[in-house]
A = this chain, B = another copy of it.
Amino acid sequence: MFRLIPREEKFFDMFEEAAGNILAGAQALEQLIEAGGNDPAAVQKVEDLEHEGDRITHQIMRKLHRSFITPIDREDIHNLTKALDDCLDLIWAVAARMSLYKIAETTPEARRLGRLIVDSCAELVRAVRSLRATKDVIPFCVEINRLENEADDLARDAIARLFEGGHTPIDVIKWKEIYETMETATDRCEDAANILEGIYLKNA
């Protein structure tokens, strides 16, 4: 039942799987946005990847409950797993809202935010690989932080523009929520990056 190996490589395999899956989700979301927001196959793909993410999360948690010794602190494994899961949940939340609100045309701001989400997730993949190799994760975390700040400014400007007239209240409600959810997706990437940085500093 219990395996007593000091460094369980399996955890790092699963973290890499989780990060790769998030990046695939971000890319499917970008494809949906490029298609104007109305592409049921792309929405389905993001949803499938989100379910896959849930499967990976449960697998890590199960392994965590059954492992006597873990390569990094139990609580850090738990927090990192949860943070990676939250990233994909937010990516799915963006796609779900575009589908729910029957968006038929996307905006330049949505396209730019979609790109920033893909870029943040690509950095997460690099940071997780770096952590496994006990190499410095901080440069990736700094870049994720920079991307989050850029997304923050972009979303704020996009929302300000919604209120500058020419939009129905219903459109304001829809797009305000889409922009905010996209910005929150980059926040979640930053949360995951902060946890990765903490783990790196503790184990460096």
Instruction: Categorize the interface residue count of chain A.
Output: 20 to 34
CB <8 Å contact, A170 and B169: yes
CA distance A46 to B100 in the complex (A): 31
CB <8 Å contact, B176 and A173: yes
- Binding site secondary structure of chain A: helix
Interface residues of A in 184-204 (CB under 8 A from B): 198, 201-202
| Known pairs A100-B160, A101-B163, A160-B100; A202 contacts B169 (CB<8 A) | no
Residue of B nearest to A167 (CB): B170
CA distance A173 to B65 in the complex (A): 43
A154 at the interface (CB under 8 A from B): no
| Known pairs A169-B170, A172-B173, A173-B172; A201 contacts B65 (CB<8 A) | yes
- Chain A contacts to B: CB under 8 angstroms: 61, 65, 96, 100-102, 156, 159-160, 163, 168-170, 172-174, 176, 198, 201-202
